[in-house]
A and B are shown apart, each in its own frame.
Chain A
Amino acid sequence: MIKLSARGAVFPWRGLACALLLASLPLWCRDRYILSVATSIGIFVIAAISLNLLLGYTGQLSLGHAAFFGIGAYTSALLSLGFDLDLKFAKLVVAPKPVWIAFIGAVIVSGISGWLIGKLAFRVRGAYFVVVTISFAQVSRLVALNWVDLTEGPMALNSIPPLSLWLPGVGVMPLVTKAAKYWVVLVFGIISYLAVARLVRSRIGRALIALRENESLARSVGISVTHYLVIASIASAAIAGTAGALYAHNVQIVDPDVFLFVYTVTMVIMVIVGGKGTLAGPVVGGILFGAFPEVLRDYARPEVQWIIYGVAMIVILVFLPEGIVPALSRLRFWRARTAVVSATGPTLAGKNA
């Protein structure tokens, strides 16, 4: 019940300090490799934040999240490259659009797909819901692979333009340096974090948490289950689509592999290890599991790394089912409690991590 009592500032000073520290990375670290790794970690953190909204706050185990990521990536890539489609009854020609228009298009299209899937999938629960979401991701992947006229199939979409920035006096400037790409991802990371933080502390968030804790009870006090779950699904998909669009313009190539189940699993591991249902959880989990491959790169082959992730996931689920962040905050809460227990008396309203 910790989450219900949190009424503190959405963005406390500690968060601001963290953001500034992260923002200063390109200033003291000139290593281009590290910066590009940090950028891709950031993209995965955004995806994990979006998944956490479903996994952590609604309690629905969505295992098709890579689909929204992929739809965002493909939409932004296609709109910025332009495409023509020869449908049987009409010819559809879309001229290349400016990157930010394409980017916004990606957010909208993935949001719409989230609405669609939410409407359909939330008619079932539990194992059935999981299978619907997995099937949706598989269908998306097969469409991306086989609709060669639109997606180029396994040949992939190449030379996607990078994001750009308009500055007064300078004009439109493509963001090609590693530092610029990093900052763009960081900005969107912070926006996503704040958006989710705002959402879960609103009326909607309280309804979602009530649903997660006891669906029948929530229903009985008049919470419209499907309505709120669909809202969560739209928001989650739109944020995942944002991450996908950032990915497309960052690596400048998109192929059907973005829909693979392993990416969904990676996001799930990040959320679970960090702590589902906490705001900081996916960030911590995302940074840990984004940095792991780089640390392990010299010592272990990719298969061995994956085995380590799998084992880590099982160990965390067995011994620390809430994840790292709730465990740490409980530890701190206990210390604080033993220090000032007589002054404040026992309170359950712990700090929201």
Chain B
Amino acid sequence: MDQFLQHLANAAALSGTYALLGIGLTLVFGIMRVVNFTHGEFYALGAYSAYGLVVLLKLDFFTSLVLAAIIGFAFGSVVEYVLLRRRKLSDIDGVMLIMIGMMIVMQNTEQLIWGGVAKLVPSPFSQEPLVWGAVSIAPIRVFVVCAALVLLGGFYLLIERTRLGTAMRATFQDRDAAAMMGVNVSAIYTLTFALGASLASVAGALLAPIFVVNPTMGDLASLKAFAIVILGGLGNLVGAALGGIALAIVEEFGAGYISTDYRDALGFLVILLVLLVRPQGLFAAKERIG
């Protein structure tokens, strides 16, 4: 039972991060229909920003988080403006390949600038774990979950309660109709992509003190994000958050009770299963898959 509770705590800590990774990707897919292969690279960009700001510029970790979000946002808007503005986004495969090209460019630029050696970012909290009964958890992980919850809540409010969110949802539902109602669709696209990039970047910066920072970290992050988004149903924001929780539970309990070696494989097996049994995702009402 103690072991079970510990796994549950770990899964809770992990699910916050996964939800953050997932909603950025699902936002971009839902509104733009772009399968964003650079998502993991923005995650790596955030992690390297944290390294640069905290270790090299000796800034405070929390300030660095905000700056990482801004860097991700700025870089994301540039990528969208240069690569996707004026592209026919309905050519899903063509756009996907362009994003793969950009992923290669970003990942190797990171490698060129920072080198292949993994970097460490010091945690702003004490290393002493918080102990609660038989369950122990590192303070930084608790902070990550709280930060993720705040961001998720903020995003939910942004999408559901603001004028901007209404415009985004309108574009999501029918871009032509939205354009006719006076929504600046191009601006919405750039903003959406930049927000997605910014979320990935914050996730990278948040996790930098927990994991090591290396140039290929984006690969696994991208794949995990895909898994989460598929679990929740592509383009479904709440689904992505739930998908993050589901993947965290599967991985954590699979690693605990089946095999740690196959921890990452379990996630992919779950995606395969979900796509075969319920292709629209676990939490989506209905979604075209053709």
Interface residues of A (CB under 8 A from B): 59, 61, 120, 123-128, 130-132, 134-136, 138-139, 142-143, 146, 215, 261, 265, 268, 272, 301, 303-304, 306-307, 309-311, 313-314, 317-318, 321
What are some 12 contacts across the A-B interface (CB < 8 A)? A120-B276, A125-B289, A128-B289, A138-B264, A143-B265, A146-B261, A146-B262, A261-B219, A268-B97, A301-B112, A304-B108, A307-B108
Indicate with 1 or 0, residue by residue over B104-139, a CB within 8 angstroms of chain A CB atoms. Answer: 110111011000000000000000000000000000
- B279 to A124, Cβ gap below 8 A? yes
B272 at the interface (CB under 8 A from A): yes
A215–B226 alpha-carbon span in the complex (Å): 26
Indicate with 1 or 0, residue by residue over B204-217, a CB within 8 angstroms of chain A CB atoms. Answer: 00000000000000
Overall SS of chain B's interface? helix
A317–B101 alpha-carbon span in the complex (Å): 9
- Closest beta carbon of chain B to A124's beta carbon, Å: 5
Chain B residues positioned under 8 Å from A321 (CB to CB): 94
- A125 to B104, Cβ gap below 8 A? no
- The 9 closest A-B CB pairs, nearest first, are A310-B104, A310-B105, A313-B101, A142-B265, A314-B101, A146-B261, A306-B108, A135-B268, A303-B108
Interface residues of B (CB under 8 A from A): 29, 35, 83, 87, 92-94, 96-98, 100-105, 107-109, 111-112, 219, 223, 226-227, 230, 234, 259, 261-262, 264-265, 268-269, 271-272, 275-276, 279, 289-290
- A123 to B265, Cβ gap below 8 A? no
- B234 to A127, Cβ gap below 8 A? yes
- A139 to B98, Cβ gap below 8 A? no
A318–B104 alpha-carbon span in the complex (Å): 16
User: Which of A61, A123, A139, A143 meets B93, CB within 8 Å?
Assistant: A61
- A142 to B264, Cβ gap below 8 A? yes
Chain A residues positioned under 8 Å from B104 (CB to CB): 265, 306-307, 309-310, 313
- Closest beta carbon of chain B to A285's beta carbon, Å: 13
- Closest beta carbon of chain B to A297's beta carbon, Å: 16
Chain A residues positioned under 8 Å from B234 (CB to CB): 127-128
A138–B268 alpha-carbon span in the complex (Å): 7
- B100 to A268, Cβ gap below 8 A? yes
- Can you name the residue of chain B whose Cβ is closest to the Cβ of A314? B101
- A127 to B92, Cβ gap below 8 A? yes
Chain B residues positioned under 8 Å from A143 (CB to CB): 265
- Can you name the residue of chain A whose Cβ is closest to the Cβ of B93? A61
- B289 to A124, Cβ gap below 8 A? yes
Residue picked from B102, B108, B261, B289, most chain A C-beta under 10 Å = B108
Chain A residues positioned under 8 Å from B107 (CB to CB): 306
A307–B108 alpha-carbon span in the complex (Å): 6
A261–B103 alpha-carbon span in the complex (Å): 12
Known: A125-B289, A131-B227, A142-B265. 10 other contacts (CB 8 A): A123-B279, A127-B234, A138-B265, A142-B262, A265-B100, A306-B104, A307-B109, A310-B101, A311-B101, A318-B87
Given contacts A127-B35, A130-B96, A143-B265, contact A311 B105 (CB under 8 A): yes
Given contacts A128-B279, A130-B35, A135-B271, contact A307 B101 (CB under 8 A): no
Chain B residues positioned under 8 Å from A135 (CB to CB): 223, 226-227, 268-269, 271-272
- Can you name the residue of chain B whose Cβ is closest to the Cβ of A146? B261
A334–B96 alpha-carbon span in the complex (Å): 31
A303–B99 alpha-carbon span in the complex (Å): 18
- B108 to A272, Cβ gap below 8 A? no
Given contacts A303-B108, A311-B101, contact A126 B92 (CB under 8 A): yes
A143–B259 alpha-carbon span in the complex (Å): 12
A140–B233 alpha-carbon span in the complex (Å): 24
Chain A residues positioned under 8 Å from B289 (CB to CB): 124-126, 128
User: Which of B93, B98, B109, B272 meets A132, CB within 8 Å?
Assistant: B272
- A128 to B275, Cβ gap below 8 A? yes
Chain A residues positioned under 8 Å from B271 (CB to CB): 131-132, 135
Chain B residues positioned under 8 Å from A139 (CB to CB): 265, 268-269, 272
Given contacts A124-B289, A131-B226, contact A307 B105 (CB under 8 A): yes
- B98 to A128, Cβ gap below 8 A? no
Chain B residues positioned under 8 Å from A215 (CB to CB): 290
Chain A residues positioned under 8 Å from B83 (CB to CB): 314
- Closest beta carbon of chain A to B20's beta carbon, Å: 19
- Closest beta carbon of chain A to B36's beta carbon, Å: 10
A131–B243 alpha-carbon span in the complex (Å): 15
User: Which of A59, A138, A313 meets B223, CB within 8 Å?
Assistant: A138
- A61 to B96, Cβ gap below 8 A? yes
- Closest beta carbon of chain A to B202's beta carbon, Å: 24
Chain A residues positioned under 8 Å from B112 (CB to CB): 301, 303-304, 307
A306–B83 alpha-carbon span in the complex (Å): 18
A82–B87 alpha-carbon span in the complex (Å): 52
Chain B residues positioned under 8 Å from A136 (CB to CB): 268, 272
User: Which of B102, B268, B269 meets A314, CB within 8 Å?
Assistant: B102
- Can you name the residue of chain B whose Cβ is closest to the Cβ of A121? B275
- Can you name the residue of chain A whose Cβ is closest to the Cβ of B92? A126
Chain A residues positioned under 8 Å from B94 (CB to CB): 317, 321
A268–B276 alpha-carbon span in the complex (Å): 25
Chain A residues positioned under 8 Å from B265 (CB to CB): 138-139, 142-143, 146
A325–B265 alpha-carbon span in the complex (Å): 39
- B97 to A313, Cβ gap below 8 A? yes
- A310 to B279, Cβ gap below 8 A? no
- A313 to B226, Cβ gap below 8 A? no
- Closest beta carbon of chain B to A125's beta carbon, Å: 5
- Closest beta carbon of chain A to B80's beta carbon, Å: 14
A306–B103 alpha-carbon span in the complex (Å): 10
Given contacts A126-B290, A309-B104, A317-B98, contact A120 B279 (CB under 8 A): no
- Can you name the residue of chain A whose Cβ is closest to the Cβ of B230? A131
A334–B114 alpha-carbon span in the complex (Å): 49
- A134 to B223, Cβ gap below 8 A? yes
- Closest beta carbon of chain A to B228's beta carbon, Å: 11
